[in-house]
A and B are shown apart, each in its own frame.
Chain A
Amino acid sequence: MKPIDVRPQSLEEENLEFDFSGPNADPGPAFPLHRREFLKLVGGGIFIFCASPRVLDGQEGRRPGREDRELPEDFNAFLRIGEDGTVTGFTGKIEMGQGVVTSLAQMLAEELEVSLDSVRMVMGDTGLCPWDRGTFGSMTTRFFGPPFRAAAAEAKAVLLELASQRLGLPRERLKIKDGAVSEVGGAKTISYAELARGRKILRHVKGARPESAAGFTIMAKPVLRRDSRDKVTGRARFAGDMREPGMLCARILRPPAHGARLISVDTSGALEIEGAQVVRDGDLIAVLHSEPEAAARALAKIKTQFEPSGFSADDKTIFDHLLKVAPAGRVIAEGGKPSDGEEASEYRVDATYLNSYVAHAPMEPHTALAKVEGSKLTIWASTQTPFPLRDAAASLLGMAPDNVRVITPFVGGGFGGKSNIRQALEAARLAKLTGKPVQVAWTRAEEFFYDTFRPAAVVKIKAGMRKSGLITFWDYSVYFAGERGSEQFYEIPNHRTMAYGSGWGASEGAHPFGTGPWRAPANNTNSFARESHIDMLAAKAGLDPVEFRLKNLKNERMRRVLQAVAEKSGWSPARAPSGRGYGVACGIDVGTCVAHMAEVAVDKSTGKIVVKRVVCAQEMGLCVNPEGATIQMEGCMMMGLGYALSEQIRFTGGKIHDVNFGTYSIPRFSWLPQIETLIVDAKDSPAQGGGEPAIICMGAVIANAVFDATGIRLLQLPLTPERVKDALARA
């Protein structure tokens, strides 16, 4: 991406045309800058402001303990056609690998008929972009895409209107193409630059209609990432690559375990390192130095005594602990009378499913650089939530939010974990205390220690069916995972789904450390349980797992997707266990239907599972960039192998034992299965989420394939060699 030129430009004041529709003409406090200041920063041209509808986010949108601020009334994104004719999109969303820097630009390029390369994107900068809640929940394309496209359509209408005046032609005689408006069948033409030069037109979206799918030339077409060139040359900047004159690197004293209390500390040793500075402010004890290694050496010289925490559960006893402390349940869905269904059932299957804490482990650990200048604070941070960070930093340091600017460079992976803004607040605090620019770059051990893990969870299912294979009742209880994906979509006359505790927040005393949203929060846990259970019912009924699902499924979208994956994978019906090692699973996440087929081989002597092939079909409504969506599907499947096969945080009380990749094993090249993807066409229906759905079935599809290969049913994730061997020994 080219950096945007934000130098103030001189403009003729009389050219200002304010045209804010709606009752609140002023952008108001939701916007970081006063309008005049803002216009000075972003220069002249044609501006179209748009707002995504107020979205009642799913649970992943709520951040307990933080201000739950609504989207601003008036706008939360805009585009500009600059005086040089360049189209620039401004949004508080961030790019962390999910590819929206490309797909959002595609939307603008499509509507305005300019080349994709010429579109610029300014993202995640609270000084230049309007307020945004954060980048998570696969919401960018789903909720933010339609208004963004409408803004581009509005810009097109403005351009045609201006060109009509300038060329003296009616609008019907004009068309736009390649950054210019020209006469249909005639010679008259005028570029966007000529139309925008010396002007300042500000408009809200008024109802111009975006292009329909049939007319797409850039959207819904596969496009390569636009940020690749910078990323393959090392030029792409991440938060840790930012430098400021006089910058100090901070290392912060950490407790040995969560909940441990500092009894005594002697920091004198740290000062033996030349140039080291020790800062103590309440609970924050840090060593700062211009060289990161010297800061680390100085930190190691601090002597401490900690009192251990009282939390005693470990990675084996945590499930009993969770069941014991579970709060009252909430009904998520119900229909019919489970007791009637129970009576009508001829076969009965009950089971309890478990999964461990799992780390986000992005390759880039949490990093931030903070600088205080007079009354202003600037933070460069690896964050998924620049605006909530701005507000939290302002409140922490007692500053006005307008005086805090958060700039988000490229983010090196987030997966939900970078909604945790702790490192940036630490940097802000230290910058204020020292008066110098301060970088806080977490080590891998700190990254594991303060990660907001996917919560350990328990799911209990009771279900019954007729001998024919028709499910008659479904009684489902999920503890501590969260409710996303818990509501089943099969045609079951009597059912009830209950959720006890949420995935994070609220449940004091449940988890020994932080938990939080992890790619498709809750749905990995819920889909593992549901689809394993459906498979057990299929086996009991003596039916092929695909046939059994179709028999109990009326949801047309899901039927299509399931049939698509069966066809693409060359599924031939067989009752499991067939010995082939084939598994199937399906699910719904962020509005998207997915189905997976997997083929595994199980080494019975070592217990090792090798996943040989995974096929995924996905129906996601309008797919803006099929190339980007395919990459997300592949990434989901590869990442999902980890929580399915190996990933689990081992701990005793608040002490975390896995603090680096030596013991915490994430997927590697040697695990790479044959991966195949299929996007089921639905481009006339609204866009749904794309960054998360293809991960939700990975636990179940592999567990089901293992059952098909061996006849053993594993009810706990991850499916480690030890668990496979234990189950084989018991069988």
Chain B
Amino acid sequence: MKDAVQFKLNGNPVSLEVDPGRTLLWVLRYDLGLTGTKYGCGEGFCGACTVIVDGQAAHSCSLTMKQLAGRHVMTIEGLGQNGDLHALQKAFVEHDALQCGYCTPGMIMRAYGLLLQTPSSTRSQIIERMNGNLCRCGAHKRIVDAIEAAAAQMGGGTR
């Protein structure tokens, strides 16, 4: 049964006629054309589908549309502003913190969530909080370096 679900997506209000039992990941990818958020495991083990919900990193593969009503979702597409990369995105580019790039949006959104919560995260906090996001190419070292650099650049702010 379809229902109207209203929420905020990357800063803009959205109203969707959708089965409220559907999963955010698939609605983003198939209904809204936001394919930056990736499927990796479907069970919350890999973090490829990480988005921000009300300021916290969350697995979009494990959230129903019903749970999202009235909340604010931010995806990788909403992180940059006016065509400018966010400090985290810049740091990933400058550190070559990616290879195949499939896990990258999830990594960046997880890191963004981390820095929203703990702006001046230490290296060991970064490693601990990123631990649920998997990268098979082995870019881990550079990802940690990039997040550290971005945190320093952001100086406690969100950009």
Within 49-81 of B, Cβ neighbours of A (below 8 Å) are at 75-77, 79-80
Does B98 lie at the interface of the complex (its beta carbon under 8 Å from any beta carbon of A)? yes
> In whole angstroms, what is the CA distance A657 to B138 when docked?
25
Give A contacts to B, CB under 8 Å: 96-99, 224-225, 227-238, 240-241, 243, 249, 290-293, 361-365, 410-413, 415, 441, 443-444, 627, 631, 634-639, 660-662, 666-672, 675
Q: Which residues from chain A contact B104 at a C-beta distance below 8 Å? A: 231-232
A234 lies within 8 A of B142 (CB): no
A362 lies within 8 A of B96 (CB): no
Contact with A along B21-38 (1 / 0, CB 8 A): 011001001100111111
What is the distance, in angstroms, from B37's C-beta to the closest C-beta of chain A? 7
> In whole angstroms, what is the CA distance A709 to B75 when docked?
46
B99 lies within 8 A of A637 (CB): no
> In whole angstroms, what is the CA distance A627 to B94 when docked?
12
A631 lies within 8 A of B142 (CB): yes
Most chain B beta-carbon contacts within 10 A, residue among A363, A364, A444: A363
B100 lies within 8 A of A660 (CB): no
> In whole angstroms, what is the CA distance A634 to B26 when docked?
33
Q: What is the interface size of chain B, counting residues whose CB is below 8 A from a CB of the partner?
A: 56
What is the distance, in angstroms, from A123's C-beta to the closest C-beta of chain B? 14
Give B contacts to A, CB under 8 Å: 22-23, 26, 29-30, 33-43, 45-46, 48, 75-77, 79-80, 85, 89, 92-94, 96, 98-105, 108, 126-128, 130-131, 133-144
> Which residue on B lies nearest to A292, using beta carbons?
B26
> In whole angstroms, what is the CA distance A669 to B133 when docked?
8
Given contacts A231-B104, A240-B35, A672-B127, contact A631 B139 (CB under 8 A): yes
A412 lies within 8 A of B141 (CB): no
Q: Which residues from chain B contact A637 at a C-beta distance below 8 Å? A: 138
B39 lies within 8 A of A240 (CB): yes
What is the distance, in angstroms, from B84's C-beta to the closest C-beta of chain A? 11
Q: Which residues from chain A contact B89 at a C-beta distance below 8 Å? A: 232-233
Other CB < 8 Å A-B pairs besides A231-B101, A444-B46, A631-B96, 13 of them? Answer: A228-B92, A233-B36, A233-B77, A240-B38, A290-B30, A293-B23, A364-B38, A364-B102, A661-B134, A662-B43, A668-B134, A669-B143, A670-B127
Most chain B beta-carbon contacts within 10 A, residue among A231, A234, A364, A660: A234
Contact partner of A634 among B100, B128, B141, CB < 8 A?
A: B141
> In whole angstroms, what is the CA distance A666 to B137 when docked?
11
B30 lies within 8 A of A292 (CB): yes
> Which residue on A lies nearest to B86, using beta carbons?
A232
B36 lies within 8 A of A97 (CB): no
Q: Which residues from chain B contact A99 at a C-beta distance below 8 Å? A: 99
A635 lies within 8 A of B137 (CB): yes
> In whole angstroms, what is the CA distance A668 to B107 when docked?
12
What is the distance, in angstroms, from A134's C-beta to the closest C-beta of chain B? 17
Given contacts A672-B127, A675-B141, contact A232 B136 (CB under 8 A): no
> Which residue on B lies nearest to A633, using beta carbons?
B138
> In whole angstroms, what is the CA distance A231 to B135 when docked?
14
> In whole angstroms, what is the CA distance A236 to B93 when docked?
14
A635 lies within 8 A of B99 (CB): yes
> Which residue on A lies nearest to B37, using beta carbons?
A234
A291 lies within 8 A of B22 (CB): yes
Given contacts A232-B93, A291-B30, contact A672 B140 (CB under 8 A): yes
Given contacts A224-B94, A672-B144, contact A635 B41 (CB under 8 A): no
* A-B contacts, 13 listed (Cβ < 8 Å): A97-B99, A98-B99, A225-B98, A231-B101, A236-B101, A293-B26, A363-B134, A413-B100, A413-B136, A631-B99, A634-B138, A669-B126, A669-B133
B102 lies within 8 A of A238 (CB): yes
> Which residue on B lies nearest to A361, using beta carbons?
B136
> In whole angstroms, what is the CA distance A581 to B38 when docked?
40
A444 lies within 8 A of B22 (CB): no
Given contacts A234-B77, A635-B138, A672-B141, contact A660 B101 (CB under 8 A): no
A234 lies within 8 A of B35 (CB): yes
> Which residue on B lies nearest to A364, using beta carbons?
B102
A634 lies within 8 A of B43 (CB): no
> Which residue on A lies nearest to B34, using beta carbons?
A234
A225 lies within 8 A of B139 (CB): no
> Which residue on B lies nearest to A444, using beta carbons?
B41
What is the distance, in angstroms, from B14's C-beta to the closest C-beta of chain A? 17
Most chain A beta-carbon contacts within 10 A, residue among B33, B38, B48, B143: B38
Q: Which residues from chain B contact A235 at a C-beta distance below 8 Å? A: 36
> Which residue on B lies nearest to A232, using beta carbons?
B89
Contact partner of B39 among A96, A441, A638, A669, CB < 8 A?
A: A441
Closest 5 CB pairs of A and B: A234-B36, A638-B138, A97-B100, A412-B102, A231-B101
Q: Which residues from chain A contact B136 at a C-beta distance below 8 Å? A: 361-363, 413, 415, 639, 666
What is the distance, in angstroms, from A231's C-beta to the closest C-beta of chain B? 3
Most chain A beta-carbon contacts within 10 A, residue among B23, B96, B144: B96
Q: Which residues from chain A contact B103 at a C-beta distance below 8 Å? A: 363
> In whole angstroms, what is the CA distance A444 to B102 when docked?
14
B101 lies within 8 A of A97 (CB): yes
Contact partner of B35 among A227, A232, A237, CB < 8 A?
A: A237
Q: Which residues from chain B contact A415 at a C-beta distance below 8 Å? A: 136
> In whole angstroms, what is the CA distance A206 to B158 when docked?
57
> In whole angstroms, what is the CA distance A225 to B99 when docked?
8
What is the distance, in angstroms, from A138's C-beta to the closest C-beta of chain B? 15
What is the distance, in angstroms, from A264's C-beta to the closest C-beta of chain B? 28
Most chain A beta-carbon contacts within 10 A, residue among B22, B45, B138: B138
Given contacts A233-B85, A233-B89, contact A669 B100 (CB under 8 A): no
B135 lies within 8 A of A363 (CB): yes
> In whole angstroms, what is the CA distance A96 to B137 when docked?
10
Q: Which residues from chain B contact A240 at a C-beta distance below 8 Å? A: 29, 35, 38-39
> In whole angstroms, what is the CA distance A212 to B98 when docked?
31
> In whole angstroms, what is the CA distance A225 to B101 when docked?
11
> Which residue on A lies nearest to B103, using beta carbons?
A363
Q: Which residues from chain B contact A249 at a C-beta distance below 8 Å? A: 30
Given contacts A234-B37, A234-B75, A444-B40, contact A410 B101 (CB under 8 A): yes
What is the distance, in angstroms, from A599's C-beta to the closest C-beta of chain B? 16
> Which residue on B lies nearest to A382, using beta carbons?
B102
B22 lies within 8 A of A661 (CB): no
Q: Which residues from chain A contact B100 at a C-beta distance below 8 Å? A: 96-97, 362-364, 410-413
B93 lies within 8 A of A228 (CB): yes
> In whole angstroms, what is the CA distance A233 to B105 when docked?
7
Q: Which residues from chain B contact A361 at a C-beta distance below 8 Å? A: 136
Given contacts A234-B75, A631-B96, contact A363 B140 (CB under 8 A): no
A229 lies within 8 A of B102 (CB): no
Q: Which residues from chain A contact B135 at a C-beta distance below 8 Å? A: 363
Q: Which residues from chain A contact B102 at a C-beta distance below 8 Å? A: 238, 362-364, 410, 412-413
A670 lies within 8 A of B131 (CB): yes
Q: Which residues from chain B contact A660 at a C-beta distance below 8 Å? A: 41-43, 45
> In whole angstroms, what is the CA distance A660 to B39 when docked?
13
> In whole angstroms, what is the CA distance A651 to B94 when docked?
43
